[in-house]
Structure 1
């Protein structure tokens, strides 16, 4: 597979962005890095990623609909992730006073802004999955 050529300019731009993000920090001090790690950990785990992607595709989903779409997730984990994502502002939970109670979940504008970045990363992963699998196979032969 042909990989895109990463130019020296792209590497310089990346280095500048990373310096702006981390240059003022002592990277040995975990307390300074924790906020970044904390935010990224919440939205980058496999379950949260799938929840956000499904809510991007299906604008509104109920708990059991999400559970069916996010194959393999337990009720407990889904409930925890939904509460975390709602608390962080990625999604909105709407409860309707009906019998039985109806609860729906949808992405907020903030959640949609993250979804755009997630789509870009997913497209990159799709494009280079064969390269990754080939590298893994080569690594296991050594």
Structure 2
């Protein structure tokens, strides 16, 4: 499951970085139908296209989301930005604090929802680690994927 979530997270993040905006008339009807049935209260901002599928950029309750679909309209995932580590669910925050990366700089956090569940993807950096020439030669980036299953009462 962890490998699957990490693969999906990488796929989605790469997808969004290299996506191009496209007009709605270029988006297949099955993709549009899937989006509007899944997110009826959404305010669509734009569509983006990649060779692997489509990305709907939209807002719900003032929060920006990205929904990923295959060309035949199958939903892959939805990505939402998490502003701060304090906004993480307590279980996820505790896992991060115990991961060995708690002192690393957090570039960004994304909540990733898929059919298999949801997880939080944290992009981290170990900070400025300059060598003798003041070059950030020892800088390391890391992507931490923390699966989350809500506690059922």
Instruction: Point out the structure with the larger helix share.
Output: 1
Structure with greater strand percent? 2
Q: What TM-score, normalized by structure 1, do the two folds share?
A: 0.24
Larger Rg: 1 or 2? 1
